[in-house]
Amino acid sequence: MGDPAAPADAAAAAGAANGCTGRCGPAPSTPTTLQQYVSALDGGAAAGTPLEAARRAVAECDGSTLDLSQLGLADADLAALWPAVAPLAPRLTTLNLFLNELTLLPACVADCSRLERLLVGANPLGALAPGCLAGLTALTFLDVGYSDTLPAFPAETGIASCTALTVLRAGNGRLAALPDDLWALPALTEVHAYGNCLTALGDAVGSAARLAVLNVGRNGLTALPDRIGECGALEVLAAYENALTGLPRSVAALPRLRVLNVDFNQGLPPPPPAVRRAADAKVLALFLSGGEVAV
């Protein structure tokens, strides 16, 4: 997006937006286009360019939360805005970039060293820049979900330094793998990576000692690693709509497992009535791993 129009052009621009040729008098005060109507519903925030709206948000930010969501910001807009954000960065704890037009999560985000919540979901992300998460030791919540063009989550982002991260939302992307460094994060409790292109989880998942919720539904998984049984805190395992043909016996031994959703894996045998009646995640896991089921 370009810079704001010069003041002398503002009236002409407003008139042109209403179909004015310069001979029709003042622009009408009531909305005459859908864009103006939506702008009015938003309290006028949509008036002008996304960059103008973002600059107003930065100017009004006097706390720890910078909300730049739903402004239509493009990569160039964020780059142009960042010099104004930089003085705020050391004290920001929440940065909301949800639902914009960003194709890259830039490395400058790492300047927000106290960041606790980073929301970049619903952007057409194509990449996460190297170092964009480096040093974010206070980050607890990361949302890069509903970025259905995101093909990779490389370790080079600096995810290993996010030692406070508890929740990752990365659903509905194109991720072919998750970084091994993710599973080693000591505070990690929830990973939502459904609707991607995962074909394997990798043995490193067994390092996730506090992981309680894992959703890898709607991927291309043909198996789960045996080391998933080392995730002793796991309570909810969702692996629906994959290509699983069985489960490792270790899943049935998970001490806290209470929900197991493996629906619509055509390679899995249908559970017998006794297993269905039991409605117990461990019983189902034992059956699907080929174990003897007593119900």
Confidence (pLDDT) at 291: 86
Residue among 112, 113, 107, 111 at smallest CA distance from 127: 107
Rounded mean pLDDT, 93-117: 98
pLDDT over 50 (residue 117): yes
The residue whose two tokens read 């360019």 is 49
pLDDT at 250 over 60: yes
Which of 69, 195, 190 is CA-nearest to residue 140? 190
pLDDT at residue 26 greater than cutoff 70: no
CA–CA distance, 123 with 182 (Å, rounded to integer)? 22
Q: Domain locations in the chain?
A: 34-288
pLDDT band, residue 91 (cuts 50/70/90):
very high
Q: What is the pLDDT of residues 219-246, one digit of tens each?
A: 999 999 999 999 999 999 999 999 999 9
Rounded to whole angstroms, the Cα distance separating 282 from 136 reads 37
Confidence (pLDDT) at 55: 97
Beta-ladder partners of 260:
237
CA distance 219 to 144: 17
In this prediction, residues 176-181 reach a mean pLDDT of 97
**Contact status, residue 73 vs residue 50, Cβ threshold 8 Å:** yes
Q: Compute the C-alpha angle 177/248/174, nearest 5°.
A: 20
Global pTM value = 0.83
Q: What is the pLDDT of residue 292?
A: 79
Q: CATH number for the 34-288 domain, one of 3.80.10.10, 3.40.605.10, 3.30.365.10, 3.40.630.10?
A: 3.80.10.10
**Which pLDDT does position 108 carry in this prediction?**
97
- Least confident interval from 19-33, 68-82, 250-264: 19-33
Q: Could you give the C-alpha distances from 265 to 221, 224, 225, 288, in angstroms and in order?
A: 10, 13, 16, 11
Q: Which residues lie below 8 Å from residue 201, measured CB to CB, with a gap of 6+?
A: 178, 216, 221, 224, 225, 228
pLDDT level of residue 210 (50, 70, 90 thresholds): very high
At residue 114 the predicted structure's pLDDT band, cuts being 50, 70 and 90, is very high
